[in-house]
Structure 1
Amino acid sequence: MKEPKQAPIKDLSELRSYFQSHNVIREYIAHTSKVHSVGWSCDGRKLASGSFDKSVAIFNLERNRLVQDFVFRGHTGSVDQLCWHASHPDLLSTASGDKSVRIWDTRSRKCVATILTKGENINIAWSPNGSTIAVGNKEDLVSFIDTKTYKVVVEEQFHFEVNEISWNNTSDLFYLTNGLGCVHILTYPGLELQAVLKAHPGTCICIEHDPTGRYFATGSADALVSLWDAQELACLRVFSRLEWPVRTLSFSFDGRLLASASEDHVIDIGDTETGEKVAEIPVSAATFTVAWHPSRYIAAFACEDKEAPERKRDAGNLKLWGLPSQG
């Protein structure tokens, strides 16, 4: 059973007033070191976090709070990025600096596959049709893993800095962002270059597709976020409220809201239809990762927080925002 979808709010002023009464942040201890990546299962019932401490924590969402369920261990290096299967709510994949990708099953609480790769992995994407996992490493090699056999079927070496990778919603186009401010769009599975978009003057760091298939967004070292029409490949608008390199992006379930985060002490929540600010989440340190829930206006995120009182040790906490101030 999926979490019931929240009714989308159409009016900008209504959205703003909604978040004035839904702006509570709850914090949860998840790890013994910093959290690199958070993500929701497709049914919205579970949240996973991957950490520098080599573990993956699984939480259950119970109404308006997270309850830690269990922790996956097995990676021997930092867990840098994770992603869930787009339609199977129990399957999760993780990319690690230990030169492996692991697939975990939250129902059996086991690692169901370990795929060895050629380098230290930094990013991962699971195609929406479930058939392929792409993983990129520090040497700009992208490996494609067949999820039926859990074997690497294709490797593609790029001759530029590959930062983040993503599929479109129909799984037939593969996107990657690079150090020259460009988005490269390739066919899949053919991997023929379809287009190169000059998206930013600075390094293009992150890319995200919206759940409705209308948009994708890119975040850059120039502190800008650009929103693109996925069909026309035209830049619709630019969000310029942050002042530091944009590290992470996430769209709300209805594609209406775009969260972007950086070293700024706020996470910006923008309206994709107008570009205007809807809300902001106050943070006290650089934000590594943010993820909207797949059916509700709540977001999980993790920052580079330090433990009190000395503030020397990294805190392994994650946070939930968008909770009602009453009840």
Structure 2
Amino acid sequence: MAIPPASMGPSALGQSGPGSMAPWCSVSSGPTRYVLGMQELFRGHSKTREFPAHSAKVHSVAWSCDGRRLASGSFDKTASVFLLEKDRLVKENNYRGHGDSVDQLCWHPSNPDLFVTASGDKTIRIWDVRTTKCIATVNTKGENINICWSPDGQTIAVGNKDDVVTFIDAKTHRSKAEEQFKFEVNEISWNNDNNMFFLTNGNGCINIL
């Protein structure tokens, strides 16, 4: 896995200065068929159900790669994992260890037993649902708010409130690269081919590494 800042830095993109990349700003051309279809679906299924999950605000949810488990992260400093049984969620386990809110989490792209949490306590934690234990804690430099696992499973990217994105080796749990951006980083994601990295920013743009 080539880390984006190293493999496609500012010079490769014809930009200058740290944190530079190719920006892409787009204005929506109107509702798509998908959006219209979802609106129709929600109109036909207007009833909602609530399932107790946490004692404070829930910040993040994500499905495991096999679709069997739903994980949630909360302001109560915990993550929870649920099993979907027919039309209801059944809590499987609660995961404690963070010293601050769990702001985002994601699952391993191909291993349904592993997920990772990003917290305001300046750490990320990797969890194994088979043992319900934390198998790795990685210290970072700031309060973490974004996290994603690369499609090949080799790298975890984590973003913090200071707009720093750190790329962590998922096997050694060590930092591979770190990039400070000059704009507000709101969300991060790889493409499915694992060769491009995307950031959304506070200026209404999507930036591509």
TM-score when scaled to structure 2? 0.79
Cα distance in structure 1, aligned partners of 2:40 and 2:183:
44
2:194 to 151, 155, 171: 171
| 1:90 alignment counterpart | 113
| 1:204 alignment counterpart | none
Structure 1 position 13, deviation (Å) = 8.9
Query: Which aligned runs of 4 or more in structure 1 are off by greater than 4 angstroms?
Result: 10-21
Q: Counterpart amino acid of 1:42?
A: C
Flag the structure with more relative contact order, 1 or 2, with Cα contacts below 8 A and sequence separation at least 6. Answer: 2
Structure 1 position 107, deviation (Å) = 1.3
Structure 1 position 167, deviation (Å) = 0.6
Equivalent position SS for 1:92 = strand
Cα distance in structure 1, aligned partners of 2:184 and 2:146:
13
2:83 to 60, 66, 72: 60
1:45 matches 2:68: yes
1:185 matches 2:195: no
Gaps of 5+ in 1: 1-9, 187-327
In the TM superposition, what whole-angstrom CA distance separates every residue of 1:227-285 from its partner, at most 9, and x where no partner exists? Answer: xxxxxxxxxxxxxxxxxxxxxxxxxxxxxxxxxxxxxxxxxxxxxxxxxxxxxxxxxxx
Identity %: 62
| 1:241 alignment counterpart | none
Cα distance in structure 2, aligned partners of 1:77 and 1:13:
39
Cα distance in structure 2, aligned partners of 1:68 and 1:16:
29
Equivalent position SS for 2:159 = strand
Cα distance in structure 2, aligned partners of 1:114 and 1:143:
14
Structure 1 position 22, deviation (Å) = 3.8
Q: Counterpart amino acid of 1:182?
A: C
Equivalent position SS for 2:121 = coil
| 1:152 alignment counterpart | 175
Classify 1:50/1:11 alpha carbon distance in 2 versus 1 (closer, same or farther; 3 Å).
closer
Cα distance in structure 1, aligned partners of 2:43 and 2:177:
48
Structure number with the higher strand fraction is 1
In the TM superposition, what whole-angstrom CA distance separates every residue of 1:129-148 from its partner, at most 9, and x where no partner exists? Answer: 11111000111110001111
1:100 matches 2:144: no
Q: Counterpart amino acid of 2:177?
A: V
Q: Counterpart amino acid of 1:47?
A: L
1:130 matches 2:158: no
2:140 to 117, 129, 142: 117
Q: Counterpart amino acid of 2:151?
A: P
Structure 1 position 67, deviation (Å) = 0.4
| 1:32 alignment counterpart | 55
Cα distance in structure 1, aligned partners of 2:162 and 2:52:
33
| Number of equivalent positions | 177
Cα distance in structure 1, aligned partners of 2:95 and 2:34:
42
| 2:14 alignment counterpart | none
Q: How does 1:268-279 map to 2 (within 5 A)?
A: none
Q: How does 1:1-327 map to 2 (within 5 A)?
A: 19-186=42-209
Classify 1:26/1:158 alpha carbon distance in 2 versus 1 (closer, same or farther; 3 Å).
same
Classify 1:17/1:181 alpha carbon distance in 2 versus 1 (closer, same or farther; 3 Å).
closer
Structure 1 position 90, deviation (Å) = 1.1
Cα distance in structure 2, aligned partners of 1:182 and 1:25:
34
In the TM superposition, what whole-angstrom CA distance separates every residue of 1:196-246 from its partner, at most 9, and x where no partner exists? Answer: xxxxxxxxxxxxxxxxxxxxxxxxxxxxxxxxxxxxxxxxxxxxxxxxxxx
Cα distance in structure 2, aligned partners of 1:185 and 1:59:
34
Structure 1 position 159, deviation (Å) = 1.4
Classify 1:16/1:123 alpha carbon distance in 2 versus 1 (closer, same or farther; 3 Å).
closer
Classify 1:163/1:11 alpha carbon distance in 2 versus 1 (closer, same or farther; 3 Å).
closer
